[in-house]
Structure 1
Amino acid sequence: MVLNRDSIKNGIVQKLLHEGSRKGLIDPWTPEQRLESRKAMLARRPSDDIWVFGYGSLIWNPAFHFEKSAHALLYGYHRAFCLWTPLGRGSPENPGLILGLERGGSCHGMAFKLHKDQIEEELDVVWAREMPTGSYEPTWVRLHSGGDVVHAIAFVIKRDQPRYACKIPIETVAQSIATAEGPLGTCSEYLFNTVEALDKMNVPDRYLHAVRKKVVALQHEKSGIAP
């Protein structure tokens, strides 16, 4: 299954969430909950322009339409593998790990500006993609981009949830990512694509590169091929 605009809008992702809920793996948000969350964010919008900050797979697979994109730097947060996923890129037996924003430090990523006449429609896609279970806290942040400062929506990890992975050792992170796989693909693909996207932006992430090095070593060890 591919996570894209079509699979989000035609209900395929929703069916996956329903199946996960039926098995007791997740507690998905209803469309009404997502709408209420979006409305609350827009009610607090600091400017007319709406930007969305991508720091993980949103960089290389946003799945929503936008007017323009630009490299951006966020202060006060850093990216980390801090959310267990037993469904998308993992399984109940071998959960995967995906990225979230944790407080402290800084984070390079991509800022996406939405068309003013498409804000409601595109934020519906963004929320369906990023907030299927309410694991993040949508937060207005200030991004530094090309000498300008713009306000953007960023998805910060919620710590008061059972799937929050708090400061787990890099060895545990690598072991999970090297082996976890689910309906949306492998965790290692998620990692490799994010590393590649940031490298192409000339803002390599040392933490992600360290994880990638360990993941590659584990995968080569399993296959019997020297790295």
Structure 2
Amino acid sequence: MEQSRALNEALKLLTGLDNDSTKRANIVEYVKEKGTIAVFAYGSLIWNPCEHVEHIIPNCLLNGYTKGFICQDFIYRGTKDFKGLTMGLKPCEKSFVKGYLLMASANKLIPFIEAFIKRETPISVDGTKMDIYTYDFLPVIMPGGKTIEWALTCVANSNSQFYLPMTLSIKQQAEIMSRAYGINGTNFQYLHNTLHTYRHLSLIDTFTVDMEELYATVLIYRQYLTKYERQWLESFEKLTTRDERELAIKLQRTNNVRMRKQNLFARICSIEPVVFPKYNRMVSV
């Protein structure tokens, strides 16, 4: 009873489940019966799972949804000054998504949920919540196609200010992802790691072709960055800790401000003074 109450309280922290007591009750009952809880992973969670995962099941299938880079990221793979793009799901009747199931047993239930929330709904230093996801409990088809496991799933939050209602073109996405970076690394690294995992495990869904094209286009865009920007991003990608990346971002922001001031000063100094014609003062009579 105590565990069920604790799970219900934890689920209240998830947007979409916070005001749906019926769905929370169904989840609690399902978990009580199964003795486990699952999260459907399709983005960075497949190559960098959250804490307290006890079992991973690859090659699972979610029908009726498609994924895409439809959420703006200003913490992990972007900043407030230049937002990156991160993956989200949206309903699409004839589409399907391949991914993992991340499982935790009853004794790890609450830490697992808390780690999942902290990971997928981060809060910036100024208190802004990156509410790019709403959470649902969806039926996921297990490998082999004969059984179903219900799982907590991140769906793009269409009410969030960071949701992109209009899908950007491949070129528009590539332009952003070739340059964006955040405390977890560059936006390109996010794309690279996700696609690499899908390739390695032969996970093919209705977004695979678009993701392959996007990756190829980002590689082209990175070649056309300025030498300074390209070298900075390459150096940034070699950093191994969040503290190092946060410091690098802070220094880069300071450097950008200084460069803007220098450019402004240079423009001001380059403006030639306006010479007004001299007129003889009229003498009143």
C-alpha deviation, 1:157, in angstroms? 0.6
C-alpha deviation, 1:153, in angstroms? 0.5
Q: Which runs of 5+ in 1 are unaligned?
A: 1-32
Q: Which residue of 1 aligns with 2:221?
A: 218
**Which of 38, 47, 58 is equivalent to 2:30?**
47
How large is the Cα RMSD of the aligned pairs?
Answer: 2.1
Residues paired across the two proteins, number: 193
State the secondary structure of the residue aligned to 1:114: strand
Is the counterpart of residue 144 in structure 1 residue 131 in structure 2? no
Q: TM-score by structure 1 length? A: 0.78
Q: Which residue of 1 aligns with 2:57?
A: 70
Write the distance in 1 (CA, Å) between the matches of 2:54 and 2:80: 38
Deviations 1:172-209 (A, max 9, x none): 11111110012221000000000001111111422211
Q: Which residue of 1 aligns with 2:164?
A: 165
- Map 1:16-55 to 2 at 5 A: 36-38=12-14, 42-45=24-27, 47-48=30-31, 49-55=36-42
Q: Which residue of 2 aligns with 1:187?
A: 187
Deviations 1:113-161 (A, max 9, x none): 1122111111000011112333211101111112321100001011112
State the secondary structure of the residue aligned to 1:44: helix
**Structure 2 letter corresponding to 1:113:** M
- Map 1:87-126 to 2 at 5 A: 87-104=75-92, 105-126=95-116
Q: Which residue of 2 aligns with 1:135?
A: 132
Write the distance in 1 (CA, Å) between the matches of 2:150 and 2:114: 19
Write the distance in 2 (CA, Å) between the matches of 1:120 and 1:43: 16
**Structure 1 letter corresponding to 2:45:** L
C-alpha deviation, 1:92, in angstroms? 2.5
Deviations 1:16-68 (A, max 9, x none): xxxxxxxxxxxxxxxxx976235756433162231101110000001222231
Structure scoring higher RCO (CA < 8 A, sep ≥ 6) equals 1
Write the distance in 2 (CA, Å) between the matches of 1:76 and 1:126: 23
State the secondary structure of the residue aligned to 2:154: strand
Over 3 Å counting, the alpha-carbon distance change for 1:34 and 1:208 in structure 2 is: farther
Over 3 Å counting, the alpha-carbon distance change for 1:172 and 1:110 in structure 2 is: same
Over 3 Å counting, the alpha-carbon distance change for 1:65 and 1:94 in structure 2 is: same
Contact preservation (8 Å) 1:34, 1:131: no
Structure label with greater radius of gyration = 2
Identity %: 24
Over 3 Å counting, the alpha-carbon distance change for 1:139 and 1:203 in structure 2 is: same
Write the distance in 1 (CA, Å) between the matches of 2:62 and 2:78: 29
Q: Which residue of 2 aligns with 1:156?
A: 155
State the secondary structure of the residue aligned to 1:172: helix
Contact preservation (8 Å) 2:52, 2:115: no
Write the distance in 2 (CA, Å) between the matches of 1:51 and 1:35: 13
Contact preservation (8 Å) 1:34, 1:128: no
C-alpha deviation, 1:102, in angstroms? 1.2
Q: TM-score by structure 2 length? A: 0.63
Write the distance in 2 (CA, Å) between the matches of 1:194 and 1:55: 8
C-alpha deviation, 1:223, in angstroms? 6.5
Over 3 Å counting, the alpha-carbon distance change for 1:87 and 1:66 in structure 2 is: closer
Write the distance in 1 (CA, Å) between the matches of 2:38 and 2:11: 18
Write the distance in 2 (CA, Å) between the matches of 1:61 and 1:85: 17
